[in-house]
Amino acid sequence: MGRLQGKIAVVTGSASGIGRGTAVRLAAEGAIVIGGDLNTAGGEETAALCRAHGGAASFMTTDVTREADVAGLIGHAVEQYGGLDILFNNACFSGAIGPLETTPVEDWDKSLAIGLRSVFLGIKYAIGPMRARGGGAIISTASTAAKRGIRGLPAYCAAKSGVVNLTQSAAIELAEDGIRVNCICPGDILTPMRASPLPKAELEAQLAGLQPIQRPGRPEDIAGAVVFLASEDAGFVTGIALDVDGGALTGLWSYGGSSQHSHLRTSGFLGPSFQRKAASDLPAAAAV
């Protein structure tokens, strides 16, 4: 029997990367998985993968910046499966990139909406269903960028820092309801969101050099942390920001100077990975 047998879990950003890897792992651990994402085709593929691993699963096209969509996604879990035990607030993309001085207010607002407001909405609508079941586990994806600034990503860093502090505040407020609230701070994880014009093998080699553990991070690394935080093994754990970064935050591991981050030295808006077809879709400086 899996560690999460019979638990009902909602995963946002389930169509690819960390979201897909975690949804499949949750299903393999016995959970019923409801995915939400803007990428309908990818989300349906993930649901099929979850079912192939033995778990019940469904998908709803969801814009996590819209309150009605988030409420509807969690409402679907309650109505279709009877409740909610686990919420993984994961959906995000890089958003506004480039100097603060030239960042349009509209891009800043969109970045904070996807990176922070979506987490607030997920927590808000998870509370009632989890309270009704006597508790639950909320896990959100923050980032090592929440703890150390990255050149060219001010909005992303600000949003992820907000996720960490929101996690702590919510953990205090919801402990009396048996709801544990934690977040994970991934380092450089090899996912579609990891924009680069480099060939995959070269990108993997560069990512391997960014932290003491000399390999790229994988979605499975984050999935394992989510399963732990969602399980009773973490029953006395709440309010933490767990680094899953191969040790990147332990020392002077450079982000901004490496060539695979060259797109952060230009300006623009880097949206969802599934809408990018090729290196030509990256900002101009990244294709050099």
Structure tokens at 78: 């309650």
How many H helices and E strands in the chain?
8, 9
- Among 23-37, 169-183, 201-215, the range scoring the smallest mean pLDDT is 201-215
Structure tokens at 261: 């981050």
Range of the domain at 120: 8-287
Residue 33 lies in a domain: yes
Q: Quick check: pTM over 0.75? A: yes
Residue 90's pLDDT is 96
Residue 2 lies in a domain: no
Task: Please check the confidence at residue 288 and state whether its pLDDT lies above 50.
Answer: no
Active-site annotation, residues = 156
Residue 180 lies in a domain: yes
CATH of the domain at 158: 3.40.50.720
Structure tokens at 260: 């695979």
Number of domains making up the chain: 1
Alpha helices in 31-115 (DSSP H): 40-52, 67-81, 105-112
Burial class (CB in 10 A: 0-12, 13-18, 19+), 57: buried
